[in-house]
Amino acid sequence: MQVITGKTQLLGVMGHPVEHSLSPIMHNAAIAHLKLDYVYLPLSVKPEALTTAVAGFAAINLKGFNVTIPHKQAILPLLSEISPVAQAVGAVNTVWRKDNTWVGTNTDVEGFLAPLQDLNRDWSSAVVLILGNGGAARAVVAACAQLGCLRIYTIGRNYQKLQQFYASWNDADISSKLQVHSWDKLPQLIPQATLLVNTTPIGMHPHTEASPLSITEMKLLSSEAIAYDLVYTPRPTQFLQQAEKQGVMTIDGLEMLVQQGAAALKIWLQQSVPVDIMRQALQQQLIKC
């Protein structure tokens, strides 16, 4: 068992609420495996306390931290440097110290791409259909553009927010691939999809019987497509159960969670990290839940 001392280096995840986060489980499992004198903590920070908290993290020599809801965009003005991928997404999820300043990036893109890059697919002709137009959808858009997908459709229920979502992409390459559509266009768009991604929280515990799509809508999906749900509990979600009944390949959000976490830990530690240990720790925890 690790002994925490005054020499123990601090890492963490900042959000509100943050009690439910599984990040400490996978990060501390990796740290223990590597036999390093670090500890990864959940850091509950209310929106109005963000500036004070980030200054405090520097004061106590926090080595780095993850950022989750609701701070991924609000933290941007508090950083001295932001990576190009984080600028494209417009959100940061990983922060570290550099020359006594805070630097941020977004490893959600890398996390999302990891299971897709393991597949032998020609993404240059792929059509991506993204359900939702929030922060997670932004990471998926940036990832699919990086993958070289042909077209990216983002679906939402609020027309004004959809227009704002589209207008926010200054990258000409991304905006030329991107289209936004209202939810009622799903019957026309689902049959075109090579990759169908749920970025909404629909189907997440405790509302495990819910799905963003009806059974009728899911039946429109090609059997050659991939259904990807960013929700990782329950496993599988109702959305992925529907897809499996159509004979569609499915990916859940656990691998994205593992890979984005591993990418962050690699930045902080400046060494390779045991991804398998992180994945195993999460799987064991989800079995207990």
Active site residue 46: no
> Could you read off the pLDDT tens digit of each residue along the chain, which spans 289 residues?
779 999 999 999 999 999 989 999 999 999 999 999 999 999 999 999 999 999 999 999 999 999 998 999 999 999 999 999 999 899 999 999 999 999 999 999 999 999 999 898 999 999 999 999 988 999 999 999 999 999 999 999 999 999 999 999 977 788 899 999 999 999 999 999 999 999 999 998 788 999 999 999 999 999 999 999 999 888 899 999 999 999 999 999 999 999 999 999 999 999 999 999 999 999 999 887 6
Q: Would you list the DSSP string of 10-66? A: EEEEEESS-TT--HHHHHHHHHHHHT-SEEEEEEE--GGGHHHHHHHHHHTT--EEE
**pTM (global) more than 0.85:** yes
User: pLDDT digit string (tens) for 113-169?
Assistant: 999 998 989 999 999 999 999 889 999 999 999 999 999 999 999 999 999 999 999
**Catalytic position from the list 7, 46, 72, 245:** 72
CA distance 98 to 5: 24
Q: Would you state the structure tokens that stand for residue 213, as one six-digit string?
A: 């799509």
Q: Angle at Cα 206 formed by Cα 204 and Cα 210, nearest 5°? A: 55
- pLDDT at residue 289, as a whole number: 67
DSSP structure class, residue 97: E
